[in-house]
Structures are given as structure tokens and as C-alpha cells.
Structure 1
């Protein structure tokens, strides 16, 4: 944890009544008072940080949407969890209080005087208590034991007055938060009084006896289960595996489905396993537990429990004395897949690409997976990955660039600014991190551990060759590559980042058609998309350029399903276009309509000369009145008119080869000593898309 970040104000980033670190301090203070706090959206964030999805879209009401799965998160909150999550959002998140685990009932008065008028009408006197003034009214806090008799949310129990009740299963935005109107939630500093008996009786009656099993959500049921079996705030080194298995069992027993359980489980894992940089060196050499528990190992335990035990079944938490024993004797996966759980929606959903969007909104890379971008040197691979980072930062996300290839900080930042990355995001260490490990494996390990704990949206590693070399590996060795990826890449993947590995084509003619150089494990270890870069027009500073993006592998088919199929199992991911006009800032986008020259995918990657000729050939065909060209036309287009004589034989050989492969056809055979032979492309289709659409 970067404590210095929590204690330092960021210029221009203000929340609540002061700098963003005040929100972290406020959340800690509320936690110290016994309130179970969790983070919500802050109106000053560029976009809502609430947990939204297809079934829970943002309604535009800023400052109130929970940024975590609060039902399971708030009940086990610790000061360390507060630091982790608030820092994740740059310290800028509104604190909220979960009423159930805090044993609170909060009367939410949205109209001044409404509660006083109700008390006068019914002769009720409310004791002096802790009150938070909100953007529109007041929150009056009262103590209530929900374990003995839960009081749920009741929006209509005060005779039509604008007074709501926040109880078991509800929450309220807390002191220190910023309202969308700009007002700050302020508290009066008093202690929380007990809920008067007469008010409690009315609320219980309105609840029809309180919240029942039928009305309490799975998350709320888990609160009661977890309160009955609390987990120590600090978990000792030797009991981490045992604690994680036990926690997974309680999640399964509570009835939570997998999607609800994983966020809560991940936060418990963060408590069990601190970042490597904070673990005493001696713990790395402990004979019973030589390494920290990786997220991969921890998540496997959750999956095993969910596959092995039905929802709600009692879970055996028999103590195990040896942490290493748990590692060696882990729960054996079932022989067959759980189709019932899949159909019930309790298994994890398939991954979908969300990183580096095209102009049609579909994306090219997956979070929580290893993705790869390959090509020849200086073909623009790094530029494309930096576009993914820039887009993530523009969206309010976070990213890291691990510069094994020594591009340099100045060069990387200059390119990011060219691509439109917000300067304020680049300044903040919680939004963007650049590092050059400098061939130091120890430094690299610290970087990976730090980034895994930070959990950014995107991590780019440039490049695979330098990564393997730094780790004393052989690019042709399956064992070496697997070891290096497991150690230095998978922790980032398990943290949820979209990891993009930059790699180079193989040198051998036959191997280039397959993809990157080195071991077959490079392709096997990819869980996301493998995309190659083919320059249509080289990227040049001040002039822009175009890069064809051709997919070679997509394990989950989330990218392929939005792309046009090409020959040999490839698929067209679109074209990266960078425009650098003289009268304005650079602009970039990725087309969804193919701009790959027809036939480019059919040409073997190894035949670079043929590939380079395809672009000017299609340009000549498109521009020529007759739709065809001569050898001299092509030489002039490629080398200049003054070089026609010196390249005639080599160009003619290439044209004959392309004719033999079916890419070109001869339109006029020519005559000896007379008119030259002429060629055109194999069909009359649009030469840039292979379709009959209008050009």
C-alpha cells in the first residue's frame, strides 16, 4: 500500500470538504466508530464508478451508486480494505454506511420539518442522536440489534411524509460525502442513540414482522452467516490457505452465486495475502509456506468449493494444521461439469472483450486474460497498445506500461499524449504507472507484485523477447516460457488486468506464418486474443498511418464474432488509423469495416515482398481508368519513375507469382516490342474490402 499517496492531496482532485485524502480519513473514522462503510460513486469522478451491468445500468444519479458488491463487502470491512479500495479510485469515493451489519436504523428525512411534524402529531420525542445533514435533508442514526429482530427498509410508513427508513439490507451515504448538487454531507458529532421503543414497534409492524428469509437477499443472508463466524482481521501466515477455504465455504453456504461471491472473496484474499513488498523477507523462505498465496491459487479454492458443494449445504471447516498440506492436498475437481449450476447462472460467465474499442463499440482485448499483439519491428505494435492505455485512461480507468524494450519514459508519455491520454491521469500514480525493470529480475518481481495488488485495467509488457531474456529463459523452451509467464504474467491476469504482450514474428520463412517466434507455449498460454499488425501505411510522425489488425486466435470468440472472416482461419479486426492534420490535434480510431487490401490475408506472412506490393497494386487498380496496370506503373509507384529499369525483372517475377497464386489476372498479354502486359486484381470487387459495396 502506498501510504504516501493516501496522505497527499492531488491538485484539482477534491472531494467532500477538502482534498481526496480526507475521504479516506473520513471512511477510516466512520469505521472506527463501528460503522460498516463501503465506497460509492463520487460526482467529481469522470464517469460513474458504481458497479453497473446489463441488468443494472447507471441511471445518471451521481454520487450514490455502490462501487463494490456492498452487501458482502461492508460486513467484513477493515481499515486495510478501506485503504485498498479508496486508493484504487484515487481516494475519490463517497463513503456509505451499510445499516444491517452496523446495527443501525436511519431515518431519512427528505423534506425539512417532516419528522418533527410527525413526532408532534403522535406525541413522540426523539432522543438527541448523531445526525448527518445531506444535500436535501437529514439522516438520523439510531442503534438497533438486527440480530434479535431485523428491521428492513420502509419507504412508506410515515403517513405519506417524505421520510424513508434505512434498515437491514439498506444503506445511506455517509458524512464527508459530496452530493451531486455540490453540497457536503456533514455530521453533528453526537453519539448514536438507541431507537425509541415506540418507533421500533411501528417499524416492525410496518415490516410485517421484519425482514424474512423470503425477502432477504443472498447477500443479506451472508451477513448473518458471517457475523456468526467472524474472521480475524489479521490472518497468520500459516493459516492463510485454511482461512480462504473456510471463507469460500461460508460464501457457498450463504446461497450467494459465484458472481456475487467472487468480489467478496477477492477482498478477503487481499487481507490474507499482502503485496510481496510488504511481507517480511523471512516469510518468503518459510519451509511450510515458501510463497504468498497467489490469486490463481486462491480462486481455484473458491471454484472447487462451488463445484463440489451445493448452494446452502453445510461446509466442513475441520482445522488443518499444515498450510502446505492444504496446498498439496487441494480439493480434487469433479470429474464432470456442473450443468445445473451453469443453467442456474451460478457459474462464472464467459469472458467478453472490453479493452481497445473500435468505432462500432466492439473491443479487441480481454480483461483477466493474456492477450498478444505481434508484428515486425517498427510496424506500430507499441503504438496500438498505447492506444489501448490511452482509451482506458480517457474512460477513467488505470493502466501500466512495463518497458522491457527500453522505449523510454519520455517517448511513451509523448505517444500517449498524441493518442489523447489525459495529462492529469498520466500524473497520478493510481491511474498510470510506467516502469523499466532494467534487466533486474528482483525489480521486475516487485513491479509485478505491486501492480497485481493495485489491479489496473490494462498492463502492457513490451516485449516478450526481453522478458524471457531478463528471466534467464530460452524463447524456444516450453518449460522456460511457462515458468516465466506463471511467475511474472499470471499474477497480473488474476488481478483482473487485460495483459497485452508485445511480440515479434518468427524469423524463419515457414515459422512466420504461424506467428511469434519461439516455443509453441506462446500460443498455448494465451487466453485472450492474438492479433498481428500489418502496415497498410507506415506510421510516420506528422503524417499518421494505417495498420491492419488481423486476428489469429480468439479462445472465447468474443472478438472473432464481430469480425469479417479471412482465409486460413484468420479474421479481420479492422484498421488502426492515425490522422495527424496540420490544422488540429492528432486523431485515431479503429475501423470496423475492413481496410485490408484484398488478398493480404492469403499471402504468406513470410513473403514480405509480395505483401508490400499488394497495397500499391490496389491503389493503382483503383486509380487507373482501365482498372489495370503495367510493370512500369508498379515500379514508378513503389520506387519512383527514375528506377523503372533497375527493378523490372524482380517486379515481373513477383507479378507472375501473384498471377499463379490467383491474386492477379492478366488483362492484356502484350506484344513483343510493342504494348506491355497489363494486370488487374482477381475480381472486380472493392479492392480494399473484398465486397461489392460502394467505394
Structure 2
């Protein structure tokens, strides 16, 4: 019986098949192309191809037992005493293994498992798993028993879903030089093809060795070149396996951080209630492996300006634009579905703050939703009120918190701006506590008035600068902000402890420019704003109006979209822009395309 006849017989049962080489390597993108289409199958199977089956799309769960590499699945299963119901099966091509076919449960999102439940040599093929069929052509549907409960492994949402793209992960490295261990593992990458599970097993320790960020790109290039040397078409499979290895390593670290404490630790916690006394070493190690990235307040080149889980500061002269900058970021966070807490201690007033955010396009329904937005203003009369807002934040979890301003916060605690001890105590109770809850905290402060003191930063104690463990910016006014015409201000880096913003900004002086904030109104008198990257910043005086330059920058971004934008809603969803900005950019984009 030829391979095409076997494949057609399986397809007639509704099993999705695809061709494989003699060594079991898929010859097509089986995750997308496995099919029951007879014409495609006849086109694929022309020689001695082997038949692969996509388990998930075929409704199958296969128990794969094997004897190789010191693993004996038959002995492991017997030792565990796990029941294996009688069902359709066959002996694997090597003669040392066996595939037992079961009907996968319809209500469970199954996945693969290697050495399931610690049984060496017993693997589960389900969900996105595949098997290389070695049985006969089937003239009628075999009777498949329901899958045994112990073999049903439910896919975890984070299991093989990486938090970053492969390109982004490779680019995020501290040094181009890999460790000796990473080089050794990359050089050991086999030149012959291996199965997808085996490739994932090979790449996982290699990716783990690169998580500190040293030599990711070079190591990847070495390993990929070896693996694809004899199989030029295997690059896509290699990249997918590498991405899954990233996800697996991330999942392992998640498991470490979420693992329940040992009995001894649990008893100690119950007796002494000392959860917060000691450093969480697992979290420290994980943090060392993942360098903090600024993700709030995005520049025109995609680089963020403020850090989640950190205390960031905007410091500058009165009327320099500090509150406007913080408010525009709040509008962006809310437009993207995030949550915002604003502690207004600078006497701006609740009505004025609400009107400001409404003017920046935040819908009234969002401002009225206590799960999305909370504003504390005139009611903050003392430290008890502030601490109550901090405690509430731990319950509802804001993504972005503004404290406006530090100078007004300290007196509520009876603290002095000139006392390092006073400031440190208040900062720990408020800003630092909010940051440890995961929020991007932005404190607003005033630049010192004395000529000599201004070189050091905000008024009062130097402890203010030391306390900022995120980004600390001086806001320098360039074009005075007016209610009708907008304005512009530069954000100058005073301190950037994580280093992500500084590393992606030009080194032009002691306080390099991280961004130029531009605020203007469009033809419909709607406010629009940008955080221009230094290389994109408008000149002064502008050769074209700031408004025109901002819209042109947006049009360029829409030109780069693939597929092309189709509607305002499409632009809002893909670019994370507010409605007025998306509408104006789309209008100008369509005009530009029509005139091209």
C-alpha cells in the first residue's frame, strides 16, 4: 500500500495529514497546512513520503511509548500502575515503541507532554502535537476508546506563548559576546534533522543560558546556521522552536516565583508573619535576567519613557508643562484600556482635572468608571487620606499613578522638603509602595530656585533624586504652553537607573534629551500630542507648524502598516491612539495615498 493511499484513507476519517521525510521531518508547515483535502494529498505524496497526523485537528490523543536512550515507557507505565484502555494501536517504525490512539475530550484544550507524570519514555501527543503514522490503511473508522484521565494534559495559557517576539528578544542584549556555555551549546547543535519535541529540548537549555542577555544574536546565528546547513528550509521550524523555548524558560521562572512555600517556610510565616522581611531571591534573579524596559509614554520611534513598577519623576520650573505631560500620558493609558490614579495635591482641583482629561479625549464614561479612573483632590487633608488611597490602589491595581506634587505631599505628613530622613520615610509609604504594587508612578516636583542648587535638581533634599529608581527628567520649556496654541517642552535625562531610555537616546551633554513633548490643536480644534524622539524633534523655530509636523509623523507610521489601515477603529486598535488623533491621521493618510 503506497503512502498516498494510506494518507487518503486517514483523511477520509477526518484525520488531518501532511507529508514527512524519511527521518520524520515535516515537509510542509503542518501547523497550518495539515489537511483532509484529497487533491492536496495527491499532490504531496508522490514518492516514499511518510504520513504525519495533526493530533489536535484530528480530535486525537496519542499515548507514545518508546524504548530508547535509557528510557523504557513500557516499564515506566507498568511501574506506575496507570490504566491504559484497549484501543486502536500499532508498533512504531523502530519496532521499539507503540502508539495508542484515543479520542481526545472535546471540552479540554489538550497539549503535548514529555515523560508525562515523570514516566520516562511515556509521551502524550495531542493539541498541536503530531505523530508519524506507521499503521495500515484504514477502510473504516477504528473504535477509539476515550483518552485515559491521566493522559489528558490541559494546555496552560502561558505554556508556549512568549511575551516577546523573537526579533525583540534577540535585540535585547547587554553585550554581543556570549558566555562560554552558550557557545558550547550552540556549537553542539546537530547537523541532522530532529523532531520538533527534540529540537525544543535542545534549544531550551541554550535559551536559558542566554537569558542574562549576553551574546543572544551571535549564539542564535551559530545554532541556526548549523541546524539549517543541510536543511535550508528548516529555518522557520527552528525559529518557532526557539520562540517556544523562550516561552518555556519564561514559564519555568513563573513557576519558580509562584511555587508554594515549603512546609518549614509556611510554618515560619504563620509564626512570625515576616513575609516582607526578606528579599525574594527568585524575583531578584528573574529581574536580573529581564532588564527593565520603559513602556509608558511612547516616543515617535516606539521607545517608552517611563517604567512600570518604578518611581519616575518630572521636575521643572512652574508652567514648564509637567502636569500637561503627565495628563497626556494618563489619556494614552486610559485610551489603551489601562487604569489611572491621580493624586492631586497641587490645588488643581477636581473639576479642572476632569475637564483637562476630557479635553484630551478621555470619554466621560471612562472617567466615571471607578475601576478605570480615580481622582483624589480636595479631600486629601492629611496623611491618613493619602495612605487610604495607597491601600485602595493595592485592591484595584492602577497601571499609572501621578502624584502632583511632592512639594505638597510632604507637609501632609508633617515632613520637611529639606530633610532627607523625612522625605525617605514619606516616599517609602507612598510612591515606593505604589510602585511595588506594579504601577508606573510619576511624581511631579519643582526645580530649585537658587542658581547653584538648580544644577542638582528639585528643591529640597538630594534624597529626592536618589529615591527615583526609574526615570528622572528635567522638563525644559521650549515653546510656552497656551490654552489655544499648545507648546513644546524637552524631557532631559537627569537620571535613568534602569538605563533603557538613556541607551536609546543620543548622548548630547550631561543631561541628554530623551524626548520633545509637543502639544497642539488640529483643524477641528482637537488637542493632539507627541513625544518626539530626539531625531524626530521639530526644529525651533519650526519650518512648518508643529501641528503639520505631528500629523506628517503619524501619516508615515500609517504608511508602514501592513495591511493598510481601513478605518478609524482599526487605527485606534493597532496604534493605540485616541479617536481624534486616529481620525485626523487616517484622513491625511488617505489624501496622501490618493495623490500618490
TM normalised by structure 2 equals 0.49
